Amino acid sequence: LRIGVPLETTPGEKRVATVPDVVAKLIKLGFSVSVQSSAGDAANCDDDSYRAVGAEVVDSAEALWAGSDIVFKVRPPSMDEVALMREGGLLIGFVWPAQNPELMQALQAKKATVLAIDALPRQLSRAQKMDALTSQAGVSGYRAVIEAANAFGRFFNGQITAAGKVPPAKVFIAGAGVAGLAAIGTAANLGAIVRANDTRAEVADQVVSLGGEFVKVDYEEEGSGGGGYAKVMSEGFQAAQRQMYAEQVKDADIVITTALIPGKPAPKLITAEMVKTMRPGSVIVDMAAEQGGNCELTVPGEAAVRHGVTIIGYTDLASRLAKQSSTLYATNLLRLTEDLCKAKDGTVDVNFDDQAIRGLTVIKDGELTWPAPPIQMP
């Protein structure tokens, strides 16, 4: 079968769904690979680098979609792209079925089979190798710190020099999931003093192992909801948390917020009043901007200065490190393809006995198969 990789059409998206090193491995699995011309340019993979490993480079999106049995994408396809898709084709990429009902209908009408990488059952340890939510959140967490460092007027690390003593920057991180932990590690490596909080107390050890200090809310309440994810906390907890955050934010030079609750708007953790207490030149990076933001003053997609504080609400942090995020994403899709093609003969078997494959198959031959039944843990 032929795998096709189109140029991403979402404005500003720089990632590409596969990279030349991975193309070579897909060809070894028995597939042919087509790449739309310039699809990898923004991720530093030019057409020649794909040709060099045996991919065919095609000129137009029309030719790419029409000639591909399987399409690898990063962002969910647009309606125009679905129109180009082959009837009965296989699509693999981010889909977000709950947020995109019209897209799901259009894909069903195409009799497509759709593997939504965002629907992967992440609790399965053997699914970790294909967990693109984790790989992309890790890149985003790193990039959030780099954006903060770029907007901040001082060093992160403390220094004693002939020109004077420089104190280390103080970084406070709200939410220590995949992105938050990546941000903690990056900020600590740059030499900052890092503190972090999460409603799930179980992450405290991970925060410490990455060089941070875990700050607890003085209120007893279990923060884990289903599947290792967070839940909405009680009013009492939220009040205690706001008090603690007011103290931490006032003392911080940099605040990075990553708190999300699946299926709910992002919790508002940083109020306008808290921003006013920060020193001029401080920076907030709100990684929850796309889900409404953890800070009251965040403008999604923008960086703005409010009360002397730069508030960054970029929603494309992974795309801003396109070579790295594309390489990790391509490897996630390769691992999935290996499991779909056990025979290494360039065909795919969407095998529902495999819980990982079952979980991420949201449409099979035009039939809606989402949401998948709950995972049976041994």
Q: Which stretches of the chain bind ligand NAD, using CB under 6 A?
A: 122-123, 125, 128, 131, 133-134, 137, 174-180, 197-200, 228-230, 233, 258-262, 267, 269
Q: Phi then psi for 207, rounded to 5 degrees?
A: -60, -45
Are 144 and 178 a contacting pair, CB within 8 Å?
no
- Single out the residue of 277, 216, 213 nearest to residue 250, CA to CA: 277
**What is the DSSP code string of 78-90?**
PHHHHHHSPTT-E
Quick check: helix, strand or coil at residue 36?
Answer: strand
Closest separation between CB of residue 78 and ligand NAD, Å? Answer: 25
Nearer to ligand NAD, 233 or 254 (CB): 233
Nearer to ligand NAD, 193 or 230 (CB): 230
- Single out the residue of 198, 190, 330 nearest to residue 254, CA to CA: 190
Nearer to ligand NAD, 223 or 281 (CB): 223
| Position with the least CB separation from ligand NAD | 177
Nearer to ligand NAD, 84 or 120 (CB): 120
Nearer to ligand NAD, 158 or 374 (CB): 374
Nearer to ligand NAD, 137 or 169 (CB): 137
Tokens at 28, concatenated: 């070894």
Nearer to ligand NAD, 27 or 375 (CB): 375
Nearer to ligand NAD, 35 or 270 (CB): 270
Residue 109: in which H helix or E strand, if any? helix 101-109
Closest separation between CB of residue 137 and ligand NAD, Å? Answer: 5
CA angle 198/204/205 to nearest 5° reads 155
Residue where the block lists tokens 């029409």: 66
Residue 288: in which H helix or E strand, if any? none
Closest separation between CB of residue 226 and ligand NAD, Å? Answer: 11
- Single out the residue of 122, 256, 195 nearest to residue 204, CA to CA: 195
E strands within the chain? 2-5, 32-36, 56-58, 70-72, 90-93, 113-116, 159-161, 164-166, 170-174, 193-197, 213-214, 254-257, 283-286, 303-306, 309-312, 361-364, 367-368
DSSP-derived secondary structure letter, 321: G
Closest separation between CB of residue 181 and ligand NAD, Å? Answer: 8
Tokens at 204, concatenated: 């405290």
Residue where the block lists tokens 């125009």: 80
Nearer to ligand NAD, 122 or 358 (CB): 122
Closest separation between CB of residue 365 and ligand NAD, Å? Answer: 29
Closest separation between CB of residue 290 and ligand NAD, Å? Answer: 11
Q: What are residue 2's DSSP bridge partners?
A: 32
Closest separation between CB of residue 177 and ligand NAD, Å? Answer: 2
Closest separation between CB of residue 238 and ligand NAD, Å? Answer: 7
Closest separation between CB of residue 249 and ligand NAD, Å? Answer: 13
Are 101 and 85 a contacting pair, CB within 8 Å?
no
